[in-house]
Amino acid sequence: MALIAPASVLAFAGAFFMASQAVTIKYGSRKARATMSSPAFAAALTTIVVSVCIFWTLLVIQGIPADAFTLTNAAPFVVAGLLNPAAFRFLYFTGIDEVGAPIAAALMAMNPLVATAVAVPVLGETLTLATGLGVLCIVAGGMIVQTVQNTADDPADADGELDVVTRQLAQADRRALLFPLGAMVVFGLSYVLIEFGLTQFPDPVYGTTVAQTTALIGFLAALAWAPSIRREVRSINRPALAIFLLAGVLTACAQLANFFALNIGTAVTVIPLFNTFPLLVLVFTYAIAREIPRSRAIVAGVLAIVVGSILVELL
């Protein structure tokens, strides 16, 4: 008998890939700024191209379902694709670039707050006591992060004692938090749309492929429409492009690992492990910087968001 269930291994692998993607995007954005001013669009486009290639390959291997591309079956996934990954990745990657990977990942992980607010009236889901506690934890975590952002640049802290995460917050404009918060909102809304679509046509590989393809079409339309975006994308340097391609592979691996984990395991096992990715981002960031956390508030805020998202999604 295996000491660790395969579903648990896959779920934690998904969290690992998700966290690695966030840190990779931050590193790639830093490289990209040598030749471009705003790398988020190029990063999102590159990762979506990789995802589309991978998921179309999987769909062909699996076999394209009959009546797959009817308007009724495809519509929820098409709309979801415009939200996530199209709008989501642009906002999330901009957030990573602006406020740092740990804070962007933590705020994005608050998406169950939006999903619950929409799913209760639209899908008829019930709101339990545990769900309510989860929502409170998410709100508390978000407030803690906001408080840290507001105080990180206080003159009293200008003694070099700020850690790497708090420094990133201090250097960011307060409005930059709107990017990961926007990513959180569109991710939560897309989750409800995908859940609705899967009740009509229960094929996750098909649904993901349609959503990813829709996002790619949206990005290509933006490229065709705006010369400034084309110039920006063409200015990307090779090191940044290679890093963004790697991030695309990591993103697809995270999605696949989570899907297969849920396929062979239970939500009670998979969701808590997968939702540890903001904590892993925090660990990776401090490890790369070779620092230890000096802000207990940052750790407490991220932990509260992780616990809250687990409670909301599980119960």
pLDDT digits (tens, 9 = 90+) for 228-242: 899 989 999 999 999
Looking at residue 261, its pLDDT comes to: 83
- The answer as to whether 52 is a domain residue is yes
- The answer as to whether 114 is a domain residue is yes
Calpha distance 172→183 (Å, rounded): 17
Question: What domain count does the chain have?
Answer: 1
- The answer as to whether 183 is a domain residue is yes
Looking at residue 11, its pLDDT comes to: 87
Tell me: pLDDT of 20 over 50.
yes
Tell me: pLDDT of 78 over 90.
yes
Residue-averaged pLDDT of the chain: 86
Neighbours of 113 (CB within 10 A): 21
Neighbours of 129 (CB within 10 A): 9
Q: What residues contact 164, with CB distance under 8 A and at least 6 apart?
A: 100, 285, 286, 289, 291
- The answer as to whether 299 is a domain residue is yes
- The answer as to whether 153 is a domain residue is yes
- Closest by CA position to 62, among listed 195, 162, 209, 213: 209
| Residue 165 identity (one-letter amino acid) | V
Per-range mean pLDDT, top range of 64-68, 156-160, 242-246: 242-246
Q: How confident is the model at residue 38 (pLDDT cuts 50, 70, 90)?
A: confident
Q: Tokens 């996530």, residue?
A: 84
Looking at residue 155, its pLDDT comes to: 45
Give me the domain span that covers residue 99.
Answer: 7-314
Looking at residue 255, its pLDDT comes to: 87
- The answer as to whether 2 is a domain residue is no
Q: What percentage of the chain has pLDDT greater than the value 70? A: 91
Q: Tokens 């996934």, residue?
A: 77
| The total number of residues written for the chain in this structure | 315
Q: What mean pLDDT comes out for the span 53-71?
A: 89
Looking at residue 151, its pLDDT comes to: 67
- The answer as to whether 124 is a domain residue is yes
Q: For the segment 186-195, what is each residue's pLDDT rounded down to a tens digit?
A: 988 887 788 7
- Closest by CA position to 285, among listed 164, 179, 177, 166: 164
Q: What mean pLDDT comes out for the span 143-152?
A: 74
Output the pTM of the full model.
0.88
Buried b (16+ CB within 10 A) or exposed e, 258-295: bbbbbeebeeebbbbbbbbbbbbbbebbbeeeeeebeb
Q: What mean pLDDT comes out for the span 14-30?
A: 95
Calpha distance 115→193 (Å, rounded): 10
Q: For the segment 170-226, what is each residue's pLDDT rounded down to a tens digit?
A: 888 878 999 999 999 998 888 778 878 888 888 888 988 999 999 999 999 999 999
- The answer as to whether 215 is a domain residue is yes
Give the largest Cα separation in the chain, rounded: 65
